[in-house]
Every structure is written in structure tokens, then in C-alpha cells.
Amino acid sequence: MQKCIFCKISNKEIPGHIIFENEHVLAFLDISQTTLGHTLVIPKKHVEDVFSMTEEDMTHVFSIIPKLATALKKTFHADGMNIVNNNKPVAGQTVFHYHVHLIPRYSFEDSFNVHYVNNAALYTPDSLSELKEEIISNL
Ligand code: AMP
Ligand code: ZN
């Protein structure tokens, strides 16, 4: 995947502010710094999104996240952290090499927010049960 910008960072073809690296995983500062310390964690091998990740790939990526999250929290005295992963354009993915965002949080009014709409009124226990069965049939 020659054109992939995260492969280029991983291969040291272009600079990245790398804060952690092992055989399988790389973590580097997100250029946008949505909040102070905003970091990306990627598998070194090119995998486009969650739908192509194996359990092993995911284990490599997520096993390092507690250590990184704790270091970022300590470094910047963050009060919390959002851990976000976007898959496919409709979900906001713009770089098509799997990555997890670590976004330290400093206040309810800082430069990141999460907006969940509560649609609970549209569902009943029976309709949720149907949804559950449909999903299970695809596992
Ligand atoms: P997403 O929209 O979830 O695909 O996130 C892609 C992220 O990659 C954005 O937050 C960008 O700021 C970040 N990004 C793009 N190019 C670079 C780069 N060269 N170095 C660091 N971060 C980058
Ligand atoms: Zn890549």
C-alpha cells in the first residue's frame, strides 16, 4: 500500500511524532491535536478498517492502549479520555489504515464532544429481542 500515509509513517518514509513502537504497533501524535496529546495507535501492517482486523491484530493494538492512555493522562493532567475508532466514510474515517484515537479530555467544553441521541422510546422489550436474535444469527 504505497500511498497510505500511515504506512509511510510506520516505514519512516515520512516523519511522525512517534511515542511508542513495538513489533506490531505504532503510536504517534495526531497532527490535528484535537485536544492536547491526541494520539493515534495503528497496527504496523496495513489493515483498512475494523472489518478486516483479526482478533490477533486487535489484541496487539488494544493491549498497548492502557499504558498509552495512562501516560497521556499523567503527562497532560487530563481528567478523562475518549477512545474512538471510525470505520468507513459514513462513520468519519478519512485515513483508510485502521487507527484508534486517544483523545485526552480536559473539560466538558474542550474541543471534542460526543453526541448520543437516546432513541429508547422507539423500542420495546420485544423489538429489542428481535434485534438481538438477528444479530446473533450473524455471529
Ligand atoms: P479518521 O478521520 O478517524 O480517519 O482520522 C484520521 C486522523 O489522521 C485525523 O485525526 C488526522 O488529523 C490524522 N492525520 C492525517 N494525516 C496525519 C499525519 N501525517 N500525521 C499524523 N496524523 C495525521
Ligand atoms: Zn497503511
- pLDDT (average), residues 52-80: 98
Ligand 1 atom nearest residue 99's Cα: 3
Measured in Å, residue 64 CA sits from the centre of ligand 2 at: 19
**Over 80: is that where the pLDDT of 136 sits?**
yes
- pLDDT, tens digit, 9 for 90 and up, residues 68-82: 999 999 999 999 999
**Domain carrying residue 119:** 5-136
User: In total, how many domains does the chain have?
Assistant: 1
- Over the stretch 31-50, which tens digit does the pLDDT of each residue have? 999 999 999 999 999 999 99
Please choose, from the candidates 100, 13, 14, the residue with its C-alpha nearest in 3D space to the C-alpha of residue 63. Answer: 100
Indicate the pTM of the whole model. 0.96
From the CA of 45, how far away is ligand 2's center (Å)? 7
Q: What is the mean pLDDT of residues 15-27?
A: 98
Active site residue 24: no
> What CATH number did the domain enclosing 44 receive?
3.30.428.10
- In DSSP notation, 39-107 reads EEEEESS---SGGG--HHHHHHHHHTHHHHHHHHHHHHT-SEEEEE---SGGGT--S-S--EEEEEE--
Please work out whether the CB of residue 94 comes within 6 Å of at least one atom of ligand 1.
yes
Residues of the chain above pLDDT 90, percent: 98
Q: What is the pLDDT of residue 20?
A: 98
What pLDDT, on a 0 to 100 scale, did the predictor assign at position 51? 98
Query: Which one of the listed residues 60, 99, 101, 115 is annotated catalytic?
Result: 99
Ligand nearest to the CA of 6: 2
